Chain A
Amino acid sequence: MGARFDPAAGLGRRLLADPWFVTGASLSLFLVLLVVLSPWLSPHDPHDMGYAAFAPPSADHWLGVNDGGMDIFAELLAGLRNTLAFGLVTASAGLAIGILVGLASAWFRGVVDQVLMRVADLLLAIPAVMILILLASFYRPSPWVLALVLASLAWPTSARLIRSQALGLRTRPHIAAARQMGGSSAYIIGRHMMPELFPLYLIAFASKVRMAVFMEASLSFLGLFDPTRKSLGRMISDALPFYYLDVWWHWLLPPIVLLTLLIMAFTFLAVSLERFFDPRLRAAWAD
């Protein structure tokens, strides 16, 4: 360490001075808190159909009751939880594949690189949503299976990002030294390259969560998940046929607002982190 240039120095402070980061972080914190505190926030079971249908908001039902006699606020919290969980699972799995592929590609070069990057290009050219629709309509797998399938289709963007930065890392002296002292490929990738590219994973993770949440909302909006599974997209499609009734502001609007806040939070995080860590963009943002 010592006098060496350390890009991470004072990073926390600089990040906290960035309005995009602060907004994104506090929005996501707020949404996570909503999910975590949901048992205390809403006493109703989101699947309980025992209330008076179309009841307007009241002290008991903060956002009223939907056409099926279910408490909308409880549904909203359960939907937010499922949508967010889908996003986090997909992003984690996709990022894990992306890191492995990106690093392996950059380290081994040659045929490995060629094959992996070619597969990545082709996966980018295939609409993931179509594969998911096909699987979901034929087999009706659980949401987790779909999340993993989406992750296995969506890793190329992060693999490319990580590969491009790892290529530069590969020729640095300390890596050569580790190699010289007999470090195996697995050791160098795992011990040196993987930790050093850490900031990139944050960028990739934030943008993957954003993509996966959007995907989950779209798929559930189209009715591809189990109809009893609560989800923000599903709520929107349930409420949409009643948009001309007075119920729109407490039934249709809340899931839209929550979904937008969720996607916005991760967009802001991705934008802000990208600005700090992606050297190609640094020049573009410096002003």
Chain B
Amino acid sequence: MLTWRGHLLAYLLTALVMVYLSYRLPGWLPGDFVTAMYADSHVVLGAEQEAALRERLQVDGGFGSYLLALARLDWGTSHAFRVPVSDLILNALPWTLLLMGGAHLLATMLGFVAGVEAAWRRGGRIERTSVGGMTVLQGVPEIGTGVLLLMVFAYHLGWLPAGGGATLYVDHGFAERALDVLRHLALPLATLLLAWFPGNFLLARASMVLVLGQSFLDTARAKGLPPIRVRYAHAARNVLLPMATRFGLRFAFMVTGALVVETIFSYPGLGTLLFNAIGARDLPLIQGIVLFSSLAVLGINLVLESVYARLDPRVRVYGRAL
């Protein structure tokens, strides 16, 4: 098993491989690069633009200068929007962080508490129906829930906006602006919550059930500790590690779900930006978003590796990561 430094090295290497792939991929396209990239793009290049592009692309200082350019946030220019790719990404990023981060935090916390409580009431009717219901819900994809929520709450009931991140061209005070953002956030957030909560709930419950029979809980109870303390400080602590591990395993796939949900609600985050870029075959933008989000996911996974060690002292003592 690797030490922390080994992890860091492995992740860095992977990141380098991904950057290298993204650097080499366009060159492997058949035929001339500019023609290949623009052949069926919706953008028509003028003669000057084509010459300029050729010149820019032919100045190839190799992989090293590509890396430097990446570090300087020089990610190329979008064909369709004619602005630097980095600007587009940085504008969209806060929305995605708000949506994914909010949904993940809520799904994890609610799933944790509900799972622990369900396990505590094992065998009861509520526990049985909730386990059944959550298993069913686990079979419903984000596309399905998203479209249904859109139909019901945005179209038929008209309670919530059908798309976007905020109302444009209005002068709001801070409180109104915040409320407006929340109203736009509600449906995509609910969709992701419905997709992510069941897994967290079922895992928390299953891990908690495994802990319940153990004797250290009898000791805690015999000491006269209040039930809530026994339940959370002693028993539920053991649920945290499997939940964090699951997040690490699932995160790469959660990105797919968030991508689809953003598209359904045309939420102004990275997912919608990527969707539009795909529609316009805006290759530099696609490349930029793909590279950026892959590196971000890698980075978060690296952070998680160190979180495991904090959650589980056993991992730390042996310098192991599970």
Contacts and interface: CB of A to CB of B under 8 A. Distances in A.
Interface stretch (B67-75, B145-153, B179-187, B228-236): B145-153
B143 A129 contact: no
A221 B143 contact: yes
B238 interface: no
B148 A244 contact: no
A181 interface: no
Interface in B133-173: 135-136, 138-141, 143-144, 147-148, 150-151, 155
A114 B3 CA distance: 12
Interface stretch (A2-10, A85-93, A119-127): A119-127
Contact of A125 (B140, B248, B256, B274): B248
A138 B252 contact: no
Contacts of A108: none
B206 A284 contact: yes
A130 B123 contact: no
Contacts of B248: 124-125
B29 A138 contact: yes
B11 A259 contact: no
A134 B143 contact: no
Nearest to A268: B139
Contacts of A211: 253
Given A129-B253, A133-B286, A137-B278, 6 more contacts: A124-B249, A134-B25, A137-B281, A138-B26, A263-B139, A267-B135
Interface stretch (B43-51, B219-227, B291-299): B291-299
**Which secondary structure dominates chain B's binding surface?**
helix
Contacts, number: 147
Interface string A251-262: 010001101100
Interface stretch (A45-53, A74-82, A212-220): A212-220
Contact of A217 (B143, B275, B293): B143
A161 to B, nearest CB: 11
Given A20-B135, A130-B255, A263-B139, A125 B147 contact: no
B144 A221 contact: no
Nearest to B136: A264
B294 A130 contact: yes
Interface of B: 1-2, 10-11, 14, 18, 21-22, 25-26, 29, 122-123, 135-136, 138-141, 143-144, 147-148, 150-151, 155, 205-207, 209-210, 248-249, 251-253, 255-257, 259-260, 263-264, 274-275, 278-279, 281, 283, 286-287, 290, 293-294, 297-298, 301-302
A257 to B, nearest CB: 8
Contacts of A134: 21-22, 25, 286-287, 290
Contacts of B151: 243, 248, 252
Interface of A: 20, 114, 118, 121-122, 124-131, 133-134, 137-139, 157, 211, 214-215, 217-218, 221-224, 233, 236, 240, 243-244, 248, 252, 256-257, 259-260, 263-268, 271, 281, 283-285, 287
B249 A127 contact: no
A222 B260 contact: yes
A126 B29 contact: no
Given A126-B18, A129-B255, A133-B274, A281 B206 contact: yes
B298 A222 contact: no
Nearest to B127: A287
Nearest to A281: B206
